[in-house]
A and B are shown apart, each in its own frame.
Chain A
Amino acid sequence: DTAVSQTPKYLVTQMGNDKSIKCEQNLGHDTMYWYKQDSKKFLKIMFSYNNKELIINETVPNRFSPKSPDKAHLNLHINSLELGDSAVYFCASSQAFSYTYNEQFFGPGTRLTVL
């Protein structure tokens, strides 16, 4: 009964490949996110979806394409992987966008290594 789950947990691939990471939440939340945590441990938001609609798209290369088939799922597809894409990618969800309260629940992360 994991709240936010991601697959795969580890992903090792060659430069230039295309890969996808899947995320699912069973909390009934409306909002889902993708974050990237690089080697310096800096956690930075990439995308946010509210009710399957893209809300936030930070300055992320367009090789990254999120897709939300329904409220409970937010997948991340990455084309033409580069060395600099190596990082831990966290999916998260929250009940809704709120200015005053926005506890986010994180998935266990996907550790991507590009060789």
Chain B
Amino acid sequence: RKEVEQDPGPFNVPEGATVAFNCTYSNSASQSFFWYRQDCRKEPKLLMSVYSSGNEDGRFTAQLNRASQYISLLIRDSKLSDSATYLCVVNGVNSGYSTLTFGKGTMLLVSP
């Protein structure tokens, strides 16, 4: 089983739509969780952290289910500028040190 798995997409949605991405991780000892965003030919940037109780940042809502080792990201009222690849990221332990493990990403395409 891959360490962090995501549906690669692409998800094609019209502006204004609500879209959800899911992610599963294999290491039950993982400590913290994030969603990063990567635009085409650009570097990844932190979108939001994911907290156990779930958290919201504007149109974005992240959820974590530790029992199922499952993370989700919900985007409401999609904008054209949301088109990007969304990377699920898990902070685990490697040789006693914290390390980020990235999923392959889910591509989102928002059309007019």
> A102 near B32 (CB under 8 angstroms)?
yes
B43 A107 Cβ-Cβ under 8 A:
yes
For B96, the closest partner residue in chain A by CB is A55
B42–A99 touching, CB < 8 Å: no
A101 to B45, CA, bound (A): 15
Q: Among the listed A41, A90, A100, A104, which residue makes an inter-chain contact with B32, where contact means beta carbons less than 8 Å apart? A: A100
Chain A residues with CB under 8 A of B101: 45
Residue of A nearest to B45 (CB): A106
Given A56-B94, A56-B95: A102 and B100 within 8 A (CB)?
Answer: yes
Nearest Cβ on chain B to A2's Cβ, whole angstroms: 11
Q: How far is the CA of A2 from the CA of B104 in the complex (A)?
A: 26
Which of B43, B98, B104 contacts A90, CB < 8 Å?
Answer: B43
A21 to chain B, nearest CB (A): 14
**Do the beta carbons of A48 and B97 come within 8 Å of each other?**
yes
Chain A window 85-115, contacts with chain B (Cβ cutoff 8 Å), 1 for yes, 0 for no: 0000010000001111111101111000000
- Tell me, rounded to whole Å, the shortest Cβ–Cβ distance linking B17 to chain A: 24
B20 at the interface (CB under 8 A from A): no
Q: Which residue from B32, B87, B91, B93 sits with its C-beta under 8 Å from A43?
A: B87
Structural contact, A104 and B31, CB atoms closer than 8 A: no
Contact A99 B31 (CB under 8 A): yes
Q: Which residues of B are found within 8 Å of A98, using beta-carbon distances?
A: 98
User: Mask for B10-39, Cβ within 8 A of A = 1, else 0?
Assistant: 000000000000000000000110100000
The interface residues of chain B lying within 8 Å CB-to-CB of A40 are: 104
Measured CB to CB, the residues of A under 8 A from B are 40-45, 48, 50, 55-56, 90, 97-104, 106-109
Q: Beyond A43-B102, A55-B95, A106-B44: 8 further Cβ-contacts under 8 Å? A: A45-B99, A45-B100, A56-B97, A56-B99, A98-B98, A99-B98, A102-B91, A104-B100
9 smallest CB-CB distances across A and B, nearest first, come from A106-B43, A43-B102, A99-B31, A97-B98, A99-B98, A103-B46, A42-B104, A55-B97, A102-B91
Chain B residues within 8 Å of A, Cβ to Cβ: 31-32, 34, 42-46, 49, 85, 87, 91, 93-95, 97-102, 104-105
